[in-house]
Amino acid sequence: MSEHPDVIASKINRAKAIEIIPIKLKNMEDKLLDKVKKSKRNPTEKLVNLYGFMEKVSASFSHLTPCKKGCSYCCEIRVDVSEMELSLIKSKARKAYNDATKDLSIGEPCPFLKNNLCSVYEVRPFLCRRHQVFTPTNDLCANNGDLGQELLSFSEVERSYVHILSESSFEKPKDIREYFQTEHSE
């Protein structure tokens, strides 16, 4: 069975994305975990800084991905978030948090998806930031999200995220919808 043409294009775009990340950012990523470990900031501040770094990296190849404002096909996948991330969402996007849909289960849209837009985009979780596809269009996302598309993975970014979580007193991450089945249902 041959690969879908969009999957082939995705692999090519993914390789291009890696090539065009500025050397300065690649060097920063190489030292990221060490910098996070040495930082005297609290875990939430470290997480916000990590998010900022991820934004810079993503900006360098945003033209190679169909992930744009209004595309919400991936907003039904499982998204494990830490309590620290949820706390950050609650503090920075209180209205969206308070308005989030209650009693959701996996497979339903994210509680923060409103009119195909992320109502907490500025503080969206790590996994949402990491999830970018490189197909020419979002057609595969709409029709079949698992055709072998490769996502970018940066080892030091991921190690830094895990380290930040280990420094916090919060529990193990769980799907974002699970937080709205008990804690938020009042």
Q: How confident is the model at residue 151 (pLDDT cuts 50, 70, 90)?
A: low
Answer for the pair 69, 124: CB distance below 8 angstroms, yes or no.
Answer: no
Is the pTM higher than 0.85? The answer reads yes
pLDDT at 149: 57
- Structural domain includes residue 58: yes
Structural domain for 17, as ranges: 5-180
Share of the chain above pLDDT 70, in %: 91
**Closest CA relative to residue 156, chosen from 45, 51, 43, 28:** 28
pLDDT at 106: 73
| Total domains present in the chain | 1
Answer for the pair 33, 171: CB distance below 8 angstroms, yes or no.
Answer: no
What does the angle CA 58 – CA 62 – CA 64 come to, to the nearest 5 degrees?
Answer: 125
Mean pLDDT of 174-179: 89
